[in-house]
Structure 1
């Protein structure tokens, strides 16, 4: 069968096959129609250009945004990755305005965002192999299906599971649903730890709340012993009169950081709902000494809350003295949080 060739009229009026370069020139000409010879393309869009530069500056110097007014700095850092969503919008507006100045300015936030978050878009998981699989889930005190939630988490294959926001009434249901998979467990206050391997040196951790929302235990796994911390830091609030309020969360984060710093075992895993992202300066007491498994070995942002439309990763798995292998989020359960999981290698910890 003869191959059909696309033809177009050439400059000299004859017909012939249309080359890709010619098509590209025609598309470029259409896109820039009305731009050539227009001196206003540099004068238009100055406001758009200023907004683009401001957006880039916010992403670059977010750590210097003060918390003195409504904890604005922490609020910005909680949703920092979403600032990148404004880049396509600014690009579209620059094209509509036919502003060369704005188009060039939009490059700044685009480059900054890619520099800060571009690495999260790649799959950093190491080659499959052995190791310990851990998971954590804020099960939600108002969960109407605790048994189903427990089964879903156990189905992940995790060797160690931490649960937060446990109610006294729901604890027996979780214990019953997880008993066949996890031989060892302990519940301290509103947090609990379930393990396939022996637990020892179990104790609550004081995070300055007046009641128990954190615990510590030693897990004796095939690769050796490691300290596992489970924590549910206080919730943050956005109030009209006070802005982003998180004073109690910040105090508890500092106390948790001190407890982990005093840990005698060199291999440590932290599981829990920290009500803050790795970018949030308020968690520095913890994040300065530990690595996020999602940041080190995950694929994507790993957003965990709210479960119906995840916008932030406030449920964390952090490690020190062990090597993250891979990290991921689990399917939605009856909670308003997604469970998160990770596999770590106890033998090659740094």
Structure 2
């Protein structure tokens, strides 16, 4: 009798995949039957529906959010991709409320988010390329500069940029990278290391009063390329002042002007811009160059903070050059992740 009871229970409600599927179908059928013919499904969940519409409008019209009050627009744009997490939450609330109106409204922010960021979810990596470049904000308080240098050099980068160089640690980086890179220059708190000859090296004035940007011509086997390295000022989120980024924005405009005046057609920008590609305040730079992650990466490529990356504020950007792949490197002793890209110099446009 016990065996017969066991067989009956397994046949009607076991835990196998088929039975779980049957239970899910029955649950959905009951849900639909409960909604069918109930006119309240259109009247319920109006608050959830309104939130869905507002979320869609924020993402769709983010460029119109003013920066006059605490740089609210730039703050929203910095974390814009994360607004997509609100979509499944609203969907759950719509289901709990059994509201057809809310379910339809939730489609709006989902569609807007996919339009903005859906392309980043696909792998756009292609083969080939002539040059591998990398950049890393090494953190002035890095406890292991030598190990950090070895790890980023192991990426195979032909040209490597480092930012936030503590003057006392510069000799450590120079020794650690000497065997891999024959040429290098440090200007202020940024530096560039290259396997190929570097000429016309100079600091770039980004209106700070001290040097956090530089420029160099690197003569690759495919010809000359202008390399810029920059570490734009940090931004802060303060309760009383909002997103304070005025100095960062001023420096971004100065950097954009320097790049626009560059006579070489092929340009690469490496560095910590303390802003994402969505941030309108970086338009002076982003309007004339494109991100290797957006063009040839897979995923968002978040680089900061290293413990739980939430934003890609470290950038590799190009002009007159074709990106073929882009990726983040393993964590070092810094609070940023290093990033790298491979580009084609022969096919750039």
The question of 1:55 aligning with 2:55 is answered: yes
| 8 Å Cα contact 2:322/2:345 also seen in 1 | yes
Q: Structure 2 length as normaliser, TM-score?
A: 0.93
Shift of 1:7: 7.8
Shift of 1:130: 3.6
Classify the secondary structure of the residue corresponding to 1:227.
strand
The question of 1:297 aligning with 2:296 is answered: yes
**Separation (CA, whole Å) in 1 of partners of 2:308 and 2:190:** 25
Aligned equivalent of 2:188: 189
Taking a change above 3 Å as real, the CA distance of residues 89 and 25 of structure 1, as seen in their structure-2 partners, is closer
**Separation (CA, whole Å) in 2 of partners of 1:283 and 1:302:** 18
| 8 Å Cα contact 2:129/2:324 also seen in 1 | no
Equivalence map 1:28-39=2 (5 Å): 28-39=28-39
| 8 Å Cα contact 2:48/2:90 also seen in 1 | yes
Aligned equivalent of 2:274: 275
What is the root-mean-square deviation in Å for CA atoms of aligned residues? Answer: 1.8
Classify the secondary structure of the residue corresponding to 2:35.
coil
Gaps of 5+ in 1: 1-5, 9-17
Equivalence map 1:240-259=2 (5 Å): 240-259=239-258
**Separation (CA, whole Å) in 1 of partners of 2:28 and 2:87:** 22
| 8 Å Cα contact 2:129/2:345 also seen in 1 | no
Classify the secondary structure of the residue corresponding to 2:342.
strand
Classify the secondary structure of the residue corresponding to 2:53.
helix
**Separation (CA, whole Å) in 2 of partners of 1:65 and 1:158:** 39
Gaps of 5+ in 2: 1-9, 13-17
Shift of 1:24: 8.1
Classify the secondary structure of the residue corresponding to 1:34.
helix
Aligned equivalent of 1:345: 344
Shift of 1:41: 1.1
**Separation (CA, whole Å) in 2 of partners of 1:208 and 1:146:** 28
Shift of 1:31: 3.3
**Separation (CA, whole Å) in 2 of partners of 1:276 and 1:30:** 49
Aligned residues: 335
**Separation (CA, whole Å) in 2 of partners of 1:250 and 1:58:** 22
Aligned equivalent of 1:42: 42
Aligned equivalent of 1:167: 166
| 8 Å Cα contact 2:123/2:298 also seen in 1 | yes
- Measured against aligned partners, the alpha-carbon deviations of 1:201-229 in whole angstroms (never above 9, x if no partner) come to 00000000000000000001111110000
**Separation (CA, whole Å) in 2 of partners of 1:88 and 1:28:** 18
- Measured against aligned partners, the alpha-carbon deviations of 1:236-268 in whole angstroms (never above 9, x if no partner) come to 011111100100000000000000000000000
Classify the secondary structure of the residue corresponding to 2:191.
strand
**Separation (CA, whole Å) in 2 of partners of 1:137 and 1:145:** 14
Aligned equivalent of 2:261: 262
Shift of 1:118: 0.2
Shift of 1:25: 5.9
Aligned equivalent of 1:125: 125
**Separation (CA, whole Å) in 2 of partners of 1:142 and 1:46:** 51
Aligned equivalent of 1:227: 226
**Separation (CA, whole Å) in 2 of partners of 1:187 and 1:318:** 20
Classify the secondary structure of the residue corresponding to 1:219.
strand
The question of 1:106 aligning with 2:106 is answered: yes
Aligned equivalent of 1:88: 88
Aligned equivalent of 1:179: 178
Shift of 1:36: 2.1
Shift of 1:32: 2.4
**Separation (CA, whole Å) in 2 of partners of 1:191 and 1:130:** 26
Aligned equivalent of 1:73: 73
**Separation (CA, whole Å) in 2 of partners of 1:163 and 1:27:** 56
The structure with the largest helix share of the pair is 2
**Separation (CA, whole Å) in 2 of partners of 1:325 and 1:154:** 20
Shift of 1:38: 1.9
Q: Structure 1 length as normaliser, TM-score?
A: 0.93
